[in-house]
Amino acid sequence: MIVPFTKMQGIGNDFMVVDAISQPVHLNQGQINQLAHRNFGIGFDQLLIIEAPQHPEADFHFRIFNADGSEAGHCGNGARAVAKYVRQRGLTWKRELRLSTNTATMNTVLEDNGLITINMGKPRLEPEKIPLRFADTAETYSIDVDGISYKVGAVSMGNPHCVLTIDDIDTAPVNTLGPKLSQHSYFPAQANVGFMQIVDPKEVKLRVFERGVGETLACGTGACAAVVAGRLQGLLDEKVKVTLPGGSLWIRWAGKGHHVYMTGPAKVVFEGQIDI
């Protein structure tokens, strides 16, 4: 099976993007995991498979697969990549699109400056919707790891996020504490873990350990979750610049009951085809 693809990135979060509208594409978990390998495959954080819309309100549907072959429900950086891809490939000429995933539907706008703004929807804060094994909704939760109690925020942006506020982003234990929190029994579906340093109420620095991937250069839903968690704790303003290792995103959230908006870039790296 010859599969044409486009390699894209959004502030360092990289993707293999495949058009499954023009051609049938069927990949199993093992094949996806091999394609994600950066020495023996194409290399990516997530595979994005673009499909025909599944309901009349959407322009396109896309599925998201992590590097280990597991399927994710949402990907903010990936949504920007999809919006740019379908426009550049001539699959649509709209500047405003409605994209659906397995867990969310997003409105996207291609701005005049080339950046893309996405309505990421309302954050889910109730423990049963994250999912999180706590009985009551709270601004922070205490979770013990190796005998140490950590105060974390917990948010779902279509996938579960755990957010810790730290003093120094450079020394954050992303690759040691990250997987332990990600796979903690309190998170039955695992979680993406964000380590957030607050520069001031309008700017934060963030590193994210993504479930099924490890630390990535950027995580769009993680940036949204971090701002929501910070806002709930009274630490951040409505509009926040989030600087990740791969670049910056701009997140806006007015508070409970409102949608989260994310603005950032998406770029094509190269195109090719691979024999699977």
Catalytic residue IDs: 75, 219
Angle at 30 between CA 29 and CA 31, to 5 degrees: 95
Angle, CA of 227, 224 and 229, to the nearest 5°: 35
Per-residue buried b or exposed e for 9-36, using 16+ beta carbons within 10 Å of the residue's own CB: bbbebbbbbbbbbeeebebeeebbbebb
CB-CB contact of 153 with 232 (8 Å): yes
Q: DSSP secondary-structure letter at 171?
A: G
Beta strand segments in the chain, E: 2-10, 13-19, 46-51, 60-66, 71-72, 96-100, 105-110, 116-121, 141-145, 148-156, 160-166, 192-200, 203-210, 214-216, 239-244, 247-253, 260-264, 267-275
What lies within 8 Å, CB to CB, of 143 at 6+ separation is: 149, 150, 152, 162, 181, 184, 186
